[in-house]
Amino acid sequence: MGKYEDLAKLIVKEIGGKDNVISLTNCITRLRFKLKDEVIANTDILKQTDGIVTVIQSGGQYQVVIGNHVPDVRQDVDQVLGILESAPEGGLSGNLFDKFVDMISGIFQPILAPLSAAGMLKGLNAILSFALGAGFSSSSTYAILNAMGDGLFLFLPIFIGYTAMKKFGGSPFLGMMLATSLVYTGFIDGSATKLFEPTGGLHFFSIPFSLPAAGYGSTVMPIIAATAFGAYLEKQLRKIIPDVAKLFLVPFLTTLVTVPLTFLAIGPIMNIVADGLGQGLLAIQAFNPIIFGAIIGFTWQILVMFGMHWALIPFVIISLSQGTPTALITGAGSVAVAQTGATLAVLMKTKNKRLKELAVPAVISGAFGITEPAIYGITLPKKRPFWVSCLVGGVTGAIAMQLGMKTYQMGGLGIFRYTSLIKPDGNMSFVMYGVILDIAAFIAAFGLAYLVGFKDDEATITLSKAEAKKVATGQKSSVNKLKLFSPLVGNVLPLSEAKDPVFSEGAMGNGVVIEPTSGEVFAPEDGVVSSLFPTHHAIGILTDSGVEVLIHIGMDTVELGGKHYESFVIQGQTVKKGEKLLRFDMQAIEGAGYCVQTPVIITNTSNYGSIVATEKQNVSPQDILLVLMGM
């Protein structure tokens, strides 16, 4: 439990206890409960509790307004409640490729950590076998470690059955049930095929079918397609089966139809598709490995920024789960180290104190392969260091492919990726190549980034922390007032006219409401994206002058699940005034029955003596929206 344990326990108690909770979601400011009976909730007590701004009962939801730290409170509330089934995933938006990438990331991202851990265990076993000799390879210790590493890959369809079914909006445990049929004893080791050979092979009610040589264990594509069909069928059955029988008839009929169809058609077809796509990628790689490695190494960080790297991950997992080493992502191995070297160069060269503060943890996380803080907070805004890291990544990628380096199992990131380069016989030559390339990438990126330099714009630190504190405390300061520009094009209304009482009553802070006439949101000042809700309907900006700004697009639009919203930034990213942050489809949102009124709130209102809104009725991002005065 976290620091909000007491508050979480009180909330659960006063809403009527765990048994009164149907579901829980949260937006950027509030916990949104669906309760069996709202009458038994002690609303007055909750409203008077420290740490709770207010309580709103609207649209069938019991909303406990917390503030910007609601994700931390949510974690502790979840601990108190235990497991509650999440609402189904929202629909996919965007073009066909965007939908594919979104689907793949949603399916594989939740299991990537255990997949990496399994790969590292296999690497550890290989190291011990190499160090201790043949005797260890025949020991029970080896067998146990091997089971740790191989077990997940063998039963991979069960894990994917859960995440894929959830992504497609079905019941996750039903997805697992579908997957268990594919990896059932006899079907997973080929013994069923041999057993029924004397009687003409495998049949389902006289319809013949065949299994892959190694069964469906470790496969990926068949279970994804099976759960996509199963989720669709489940939804249709729920519409026509009476409530009294849904509990058992829906999973019964879904399984009865989906599993045989998977053995007869879905599985064989998807195996052919997977083999074709895999062979296509291998053909591209074989055409010119050096060029392939240079392209992967140079573009990898760009692919990560847009989530497009997920398009390659399934084919890596498929290859490794079949026991075949792959070079599909080997070219990207040293990119994280290059990014870390470039970030260190910025840290050493900049005179911007705030940038130094951001760079220190970015360097540390980069060493372990987590480069998003470095990309979005340091190198990308400075441009040249980012392109230096891409260039170095391209060169090391080409060299890695020239050396014939391959990945033998899933591994960690950064320095933890070395276990993935260990050959099954314990040979560590590729590990040594990886270490040498990483050292070279770090030195080259650091040196080049330091040499080419970057614009060390002092404007990015409009106010130092000390100066901002002077403004907030009323001390003599070189800054008399802070100006905040409009994040939208639209009509300005007093905050009191907001259609949500949480905003209209000033519970979240002072500000204004904008009725947008254009569906784009821009940064109102230089700063950092301090919060971005996954549905992209609300975003928080911490400006370089210390102003905490909340831009909340629409009322109750969290219920759209992200539909009709598109983000161009991520949490933690540094932004410039006027930079595009979000896009939203006003007509589609209003057509779904939601208001697009957008409150622009200063959530740290108490730090300022007064906040004055513009007198203009119509504003654009070139116009000053609010002026904040010191105490």
Q: What residues act catalytically?
A: 27, 552
Answer for the pair 220, 154: CB distance below 8 angstroms, yes or no.
no
71's enclosing H/E stretch is helix 70-81
Rounded distance between C-alpha atoms, residue 152 and residue 276, angstroms: 25
Instruction: Name, in order, each residue with C-beta under 8 angstroms of 593's C-beta and a sequence gap of 6 or more.
Output: none
- For residues 18 and 326, give the distance between their C-alpha atoms in angstroms, rounded to a whole number: 48
Q: Which residues contact 74 (CB under 8 A, 6 or more apart)?
A: 24, 26, 31
- With a CB cutoff of 8 Å and minimum separation 6, the contacts of 366 are 336, 337, 339, 340, 343, 373, 374, 414
Q: Helices in 453-574 by DSSP H: which ranges? A: 465-473, 501-504
Q: For residue 396, which of 370, 366, 434 has the smallest C-alpha distance? A: 434
* Phi, then psi, of 202 in degrees rounded to 5: -85, 135
Q: Which amino acid is at 528?
A: V
Backbone torsion region of residue 67, taken as left when φ is above 0, otherwise alpha when ψ lies between -120 and 50, otherwise beta? left
Measured on CA atoms in the order 559, 563, 564, 570, is the torsion positive or negative? positive
Whose tokens are 């519409």? That residue is 239
Tokens standing for residue 62: 């019991």
What is the helix (H) or strand (E) element at residue 200, kind and residue range? Answer: none
Helix locations, 215-287, DSSP H: 221-240, 243-261, 267-287
Residue 267 has which token pair?
């599985």
- What is d(CA 321, CA 278) in angstroms, rounded to the nearest whole number? 13
Residue 433, number of CB atoms within 10 A of its CB = 17
